[in-house]
Structure 1
Amino acid sequence: MKRKESEMKHLGVVLKQLLIEQEMSQTALAEESDVPRNTLNRKLNVGGFTYDELTRIADALGMKLSTIIERTEALAARKEQDQ
């Protein structure tokens, strides 16, 4: 269970990195993905996105969801190796 919690936090980190890379604000992402701003902010920090939210976020970022997941898994693996 601890690994899944860690991966949820890594997902938030990856999504924040993508926002920076694409020069997009959380507000713009919330509007484009139709995820309420406060929900997006909370889930970026704590995790718990639904599949539907993630697919809408991926679409808003112009990316495949699988790419976001791959980046999240790679980050989690790097963090695990560092420990």
Structure 2
Amino acid sequence: MLGLYLNARNFVTNRLSREEKGATAVEYGIMVALIAVVIITAVTLLGGGIQDMFTEAQCKINGGTFTAVAAGAKAGTATCAP
């Protein structure tokens, strides 16, 4: 009877520990997917503004005249005239 109990306990313990490892892998996968979504969203929203910022810095270094983006215009369309 004791042997049956120990076999059942070992089976349940092994089964639960294997499922825990699987759940951990799924959790890491979800976390990586969410991080990727945040990065893609940030790059999409800030990409044009960052491009304008670098255009302005390059223009000032070269001694040109920077023309900012008009209100409502697409970001990333600023210009630099020599």
Q: TM-score, normalised by structure 2?
A: 0.35
Bigger relative contact order, structure 1 or 2 (CA pairs below 8 A, ≥6 apart): 1
Q: Which has the larger radius of gyration?
A: 2
Q: Which has the higher helix share?
A: 1
Q: TM-score, normalised by structure 1?
A: 0.34
